[in-house]
Chains A and B, each alone.
Chain A
Amino acid sequence: MLYRVIDGSELPLLVEAFLERYEVIAPVQTKKGYAFAPVDSFDQVALDYPSTVSSLKKYYLPQRETLFRFDAETNEVLDLEVEVRPRVLFGAHACDINAINCLNSVFEDARYPDPYYEAHRRSMLVVGISCTPTSECFCQLMDADEARSGYDLFLQDIGGRYLVSMNSVEAANILETACNPRVATDEDRRAFRQATRRRQESFNPAIPDIQEIPMLMDAFHSDAFWDELGERCLSCTACSAVCPTCHCFDIRDVLDPDGRIGERERVWDACTSPQFATVTGGHNFRPTGRERVRHRMYHKLNGFLATHDRNLCVGCGRCVRACKANISPIEVLRFFEKKGAEDAE
Chain B
Amino acid sequence: MVVVGLASCFGCQINLTNAEAHLMDILSQVDVEYWQLTSSDPMPEDFDIAVIEGAVTTKEAAETVKALRGIADTVITIGACANTGGIPGLAAEGAGYEERIAAVYGATVPAACGTMVAPSAVGEHIAVDYEVACCPVEPLDFARVLQHALYGSNVQQLTATLCGECKRNERGCFYEDGTLCLGLVTRCGCGARCPSLGRPCKGCAGLSADANLKGARAISAGCGIPTGRFEEVLRIFNHGEGGGDSTEARSEREG
Chain A contact residues, CB within 8 Å of chain B: 30-33, 35, 52-54, 63, 72, 231-238, 240-242, 250, 252-259, 268, 270, 272-275, 278, 289, 322, 324-325
Shortest CB distance B216–A (Å): 6
The stretch among B33-41, B78-86, B154-162 that forms the contact with chain A is B154-162
For the complex of A and B, list the 10 residue pairs with the smallest distance between their C-beta atoms, beginning with the closest.
Answer: A32-B172, A237-B164, A258-B25, A236-B163, A257-B22, A241-B167, A238-B167, A236-B161, A257-B25, A273-B160
Interface string of B214-233 (1 = CB under 8 A from A): 11100100000000000000
Contact among B26, B171, B212 for A235, CB-based, below 8 A? B212
Shortest distance from the beta carbon of A238 to any chain B beta carbon, whole Å: 4
Interface of A is mostly: loop
- Find out whether the CB atom of B168 lies under 8 angstroms from the CB atom of A234: no
Tell whether, in the assembled complex, residue A54 and residue B167 are in contact, meaning their CB atoms are under 8 Å apart.
yes
**Segment with Cβ contacts to A, from B60-68, B93-101, B117-125, B143-151:** B143-151
B164 engages A236 (CB within 8 Å) = yes
Contact B161 A235 (CB under 8 A): yes
Closest A residue to B152 by beta carbon equals: A253
Contact B170 A324 (CB under 8 A): no
A324 close to B158 (CB less than 8 A): no
What separation, in Å, do the CA atoms of A237 and B158 have in the docked complex?
Answer: 11
Is A53 touching B154 in the complex (CB atoms < 8 A)?
A: no
Whether the Cβ atoms of B160 and A237 lie closer than 8 Å is: yes
A255–B158 CB distance below 8 A: no
Chain B residues, Cβ within 8 Å of A270: 160, 164
New contact pairs (14) apart from A233-B212, A236-B162, A273-B160, CB-CB < 8 Å: A31-B172, A32-B176, A54-B167, A54-B170, A234-B161, A234-B212, A234-B215, A236-B161, A257-B25, A270-B160, A273-B164, A275-B158, A275-B160, A324-B184
Residue contact A235 to B175, C-beta cutoff 8 Å: no
Any A CB within 8 A of the CB of B12: no
Contact pattern, B 66-78, Cβ under 8 Å of A = 1, otherwise 0? 0000000000000
CA distance A241 to B192 in the complex (A): 13
- Indicate if the CB atoms of B173 and A324 lie closer than 8 Å: yes
Complex: A275 Cα to B210 Cα, angstroms: 10
Q: Which residues of A contact B156 (CB under 8 A)?
A: 250, 252, 275, 278
Complex contact B215–A231 (CB within 8 A) = yes
On chain B, the residues within 8 Å of A255 by CB distance are 144, 147, 151
Q: Is B251 an interface residue when CB atoms closer than 8 A count as contact? A: no
The reply to whether B161 and A252 form a contact with Cβ atoms under 8 Å apart is no
Residues of A within 8 A of B234 (CB): none
> CB distance A258 to B26 under 8 Å?
yes
Could you tell me if A258 and B168 are in contact, using CB atoms closer than 8 angstroms?
no
Q: Which A residues are in CB contact (< 8 Å) with B162?
A: 236
B28 interface residue (CB < 8 Å to A): yes
A235–B163 CA distance with the chains assembled, in angstroms: 9
Instruction: Determine the chain B residues whose CB is within 8 A of the CB of A272 once the complex forms.
Output: 160
Inter-chain CA distance A35–B168, complex, in Å, is 11
A257 to B158, CA, bound (A): 21
Chain A residue numbers with a CB within 8 Å of B140 are 257
